Amino acid sequence: FFIYLPFQAVHAPLEAPQNVIDSYFNVTIANYQRSVKAAMVTVLDGVIGEIVDTIKQNDLWQDLLVIFSTDNGGPVYPGEAASNWPIRGGKATLWEG
């Protein structure tokens, strides 16, 4: 079988459940916008985990190939909260960021 599952996270609009944002903001991350992005990744990770668990429960995991693909990283221009460290660049660059 084939599943193509594109996620909007982490991308505009920057939205996540408030309780997940709160678990980062002023706890481990001081910048609110970065906290929202971290929360988006946390939610995305949870959803992918649920999908993997379901595939395993249906005995389809052993011969499965999973491919994760992304674009060229977060925007690193002024006013944005992205960091692609330790790789270089970000959106609108030719670097690997």
pLDDT in tens, 63-73: 889 888 776 67
| 88 alpha carbon, distance to own chain's centre | 18
Q: Residue 16: its pLDDT value, please?
A: 95
pTM of the model: 0.77
Q: Are 53 and 47 in contact (CB under 8 A)?
A: no
Question: How much of the chain, in percent, has pLDDT values that exceed 90?
Answer: 46
Q: Are 90 and 72 in contact (CB under 8 A)?
A: yes
Q: Are 37 and 75 in contact (CB under 8 A)?
A: no
Is the pLDDT reported for residue 97 higher than 60? no
Instruction: Give 81's pLDDT tier (boundaries 50, 70, 90).
Output: low
